Amino acid sequence: MFAFAALCLIAGILPGFFIDALAPAVQDLAGDRMPVQSDVAWLSIVPIAASRSSYNGLLVFVFMCVSGGLAAFAIHRLASDRLRRAPPWDCGYPDASPATQYSASSFAQPIRRVFGSAVFRAREHVDMPRPDDLRAARLTVELRDLVWETLYAPIAGAVAFAADRLNHLQFLTIRQFLSLVVAALVLLLLVLAIWP
């Protein structure tokens, strides 16, 4: 994984070589390609013309390293470099339980909430008992997969319907079955004969 991460970083810093390496694939797919980028001075990329857009990942990277390093050096030398370790802020509950831990689904909750109502037609049902009722409150979220429902479910339904109807063929007597085969054969031969 580190290798892939490092490759991503290198692709961002030196994009010209990667654009050139991908050029044959782009040529095949799109019929055209970007100008050769490895000839551009200073390892920068210029898709059309320098006045339109250009990018030099290496320079930006060096810029960031220098400014970050400079800030770290200046702060550590001129201000303070002392450090103390302490327990993190626990919101007043010192015994953390795994149930309260932040999980992947809690991280995605706001996004699910925002996009869920449109993409998954999510509906929340809240069952809040009256104050004198000791029943637990229930919060249920109902999600519908619209892509599945519009694209795949009709096809799956049609296949199931046809399979149901054709299932009868499995329970024919041997005479009926042979008649069916002969009829099918005649039909296919007729189709073949009539077909231009």
- List residues binding other proteins (CB under 8 A): 44, 50-56, 59-60, 63-65, 67-68, 71-72, 75, 79-80, 82-91, 100-102, 106-111, 113-114
CB atoms closer than 10 angstroms to residue 46: 19
Nearer to other proteins (CB atom), residue 115 or residue 177? 115
Nearer to other proteins (CB atom), residue 85 or residue 125? 85
Smallest gap from Cβ 74 to other proteins, in A, equals 10
Nearer to other proteins (CB atom), residue 87 or residue 196? 87
Dihedral in degrees, nearest 10, Cα atoms 65, 68, 71, 75: -110
At residue 37, the 3 state secondary structure works out as: coil
Can you spell out the DSSP letters for 40-64?
SGGG-B-SS-TTT--B-HHHHHHHH
Q: CB–CB of 157/165 below 8 Å?
A: no
Smallest gap from Cβ 70 to other proteins, in A, equals 9
Nearer to other proteins (CB atom), residue 79 or residue 174? 79
Q: How far is CA 196 from the centre of its chain?
A: 48
Q: Half-sphere exposure of residue 128, counting CA atoms within 13 Å on the CB side?
A: 3
Nearer to other proteins (CB atom), residue 64 or residue 128? 64
Q: State the pairing for strand pair 138-142/123-127.
A: antiparallel
Nearer to other proteins (CB atom), residue 8 or residue 162? 8
Smallest gap from Cβ 137 to other proteins, in A, equals 19
User: How many angstroms separate the CA atoms of 184 and 191, rounded?
Assistant: 10
Smallest gap from Cβ 112 to other proteins, in A, equals 9
Smallest gap from Cβ 58 to other proteins, in A, equals 9
Smallest gap from Cβ 56 to other proteins, in A, equals 4
User: How many angstroms separate the CA atoms of 143 and 124, rounded?
Assistant: 9
